[in-house]
């Protein structure tokens, strides 16, 4: 009987399972895989990695610029028409300060708290991305505040939004 994907190490069916118990097979599945990011995401990621450049695509029908870039506009379902540079500056459109520790799924480790986390509307874009803020004090963050992307040094960039370390206030906070 085919029990699905069990390339290695499956087995260990109890020889005398209770008649009313569910059949359980215990095994550790190790899958290594890679997948194609696609034409649009590949171009977006390469521009981040090689040039610290953030790009979106503009829809001809509604004139909105979508970031990250998409081949089809989610608002009017038309194909996007051209690539445009956005940011690295922008404004905060929503934010929170995270004060409860949890495992960062991107790194597998706890991120030190507190930290600011925001929706960011990059200059030239009509959609938000979300990202970390350098600032973590509630009273130093506000909706509409100008911020700019801080990129990792080129050798450390790998072509993801994590190539942006965080967003920093364009005007340094004052401690009044």
Total residues contacting Zn ion by CB under 5 A comes to: 6
CB of 57 to Zn ion, least distance (A): 10
Beta strand pairing call for 115-122 and 129-133: antiparallel
Interatomic CA distance for residues 106 and 39, integer angstroms: 23
End-to-end Cα, the chain, rounded Å: 72
Instruction: Please give the torsion angle defined by the CA atoms of residues 40, 44, 45 and 50, in that order, rounded to the nearest 10 degrees.
Output: 130
Q: Which is nearer to Zn ion, 59 or 164 (CB)?
A: 59
CB of 68 to Zn ion, least distance (A): 15
CB of 38 to Zn ion, least distance (A): 19
Pattern 40-79, Zn ion, x by CB under 5 A: -------------------x-xx----------x-xx---
Report yes or no: 131 and 96 within 8 Å, Cβ to Cβ. no
Give the list of residues 6+ apart from residue 83 with CB closer than 8 angstroms, or none: 43, 55, 56, 57, 58, 69
Q: Which is nearer to Zn ion, 65 or 91 (CB)?
A: 65
**Is residue 81 a contact residue for Zn ion (CB under 5 A)?**
no
CB of 73 to Zn ion, least distance (A): 3
Could you tell me which of 113, 104, 176, 168 has the C-alpha nearest to residue 141?
168
Q: Which is nearer to Zn ion, 73 or 164 (CB)?
A: 73
Q: Which is nearer to Zn ion, 88 or 124 (CB)?
A: 124
Phi/psi at 34 (5° precision): -135, 155
CB of 115 to Zn ion, least distance (A): 34
The binding site for Zn ion (CB under 5 A) comprises: 59, 61-62, 73, 75-76
């Amino acid at each position: 009987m085919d029990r699905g994907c069990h390339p290695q190490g499956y087995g260990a069916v109890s020889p005398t399972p209770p008649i009313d118990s569910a059949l359980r097979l215990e095994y550790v599945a190790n899958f290594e895989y890679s997948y194609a990011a696609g034409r649009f995401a590949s171009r977006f990621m390469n521009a981040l990695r090689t040039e610290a450049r953030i790009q979106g695509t503009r829809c001809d029908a509604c004139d909105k610029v979508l970031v990250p870039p998409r081949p089809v506009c989610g608002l009017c379902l038309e194909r996007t028409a051209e690539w445009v540079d956005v940011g690295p500056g922008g404004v905060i459109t929503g934010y929170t300060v995270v004060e409860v520790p949890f495992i960062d799924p991107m790194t597998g480790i706890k991120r030190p708290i507190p930290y600011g986390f925001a929706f960011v509307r990059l200059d030239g874009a009509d959609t938000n991305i979300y990202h970390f803020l350098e600032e973590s004090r509630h009273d130093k963050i506000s909706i509409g505040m100008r911020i700019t992307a801080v990129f990792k040094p080129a050798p450390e960039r790998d072509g993801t939004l994590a190539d942006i370390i965080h967003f920093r206030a364009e005007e340094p906070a004052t401690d009044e």
